[in-house]
């Protein structure tokens, strides 16, 4: 199969024979980040509670309360083996990190918090990678091998 990308409504499905960089928008409008993605077939999804927001809420709904969810994260990007996996994991990163840890597998999970800090999810904890200010205007390589 040839290398290629499929745009899935802003998310991405890709097959690449060589490692490549995935551009991720800065949650606060700064320069984008570039996450290293290994060769192979990957789904990449980003969700944000800063987009599609209104006074007192946003479109990401907590199924336990039927209200906009409350989370330290404001934007989550996942690089996973399948696009549906990546999309589901973005929502779990906002909602329930215990379930996220159980399902993460070899997916790479990244997030911006409300203060602009950029994080990577290692099952069991979030690890600070850098602040959004540190990567402004740079081609940051922050991902490891996803599998």
pLDDT given at position 145: 43
pLDDT given at position 84: 93
Q: Report d(CA 139, CA 35) in Å as an integer.
A: 8
pLDDT given at position 104: 86
Tens of pLDDT, residue by residue, the chain (147 residues): 689 999 988 889 999 999 999 998 888 888 888 998 999 999 999 988 877 666 777 667 777 787 778 778 889 999 999 999 999 898 888 887 888 788 888 899 999 998 888 999 887 888 888 654 444 333 344 444 444
Domains identified in the chain and CATH numbers: 4-135 (3.10.520.10)
The SS3 call for residue 141 is coil
Question: How wide is the angle at C-alpha 63 spanned by C-alphas 81 and 100, nearest 5°?
Answer: 35
pLDDT given at position 143: 45
Candidates 127, 141, 133; CA nearest to 24 is 141
91: number of CA atoms within 13 Å, CB side?
11
Q: Within 10 Å of residue 49's Cβ, how many Cβ atoms?
A: 21
Q: Which two tokens stand for residue 121?
A: 């999810």
Q: Within 10 Å of residue 71's Cβ, how many Cβ atoms?
A: 18
Q: Could you tell me the CA-to-CA distances from 67 to 56, 59, 62, 121 in Å, in that order?
A: 10, 9, 6, 25
């Amino acid at each position: 199969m040839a290398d290629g990308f499929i745009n899935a409504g802003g998310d991405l499905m890709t097959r690449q024979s060589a490692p490549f960089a995935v551009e991720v928008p800065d949650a606060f409008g700064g320069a984008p980040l570039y996450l290293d993605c290994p060769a192979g077939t990957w789904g990449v999804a980003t969700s944000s509670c800063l987009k599609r927001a209104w006074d007192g809420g946003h479109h990401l709904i907590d199924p336990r309360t039927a209200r906009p969810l409350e989370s330290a994260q404001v934007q989550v990007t996942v690089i996973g083996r399948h696009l549906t996996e990546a999309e589901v994991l973005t929502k779990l990163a906002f909602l329930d990190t215990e379930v996220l840890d159980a399902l993460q597998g070899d997916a790479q999970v990244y997030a911006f918090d409300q203060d602009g800090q950029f994080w990577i999810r290692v099952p069991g904890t979030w690890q600070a990678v850098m602040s959004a200010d540190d990567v402004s205007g740079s081609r940051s390589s922050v991902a490891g091998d996803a599998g």
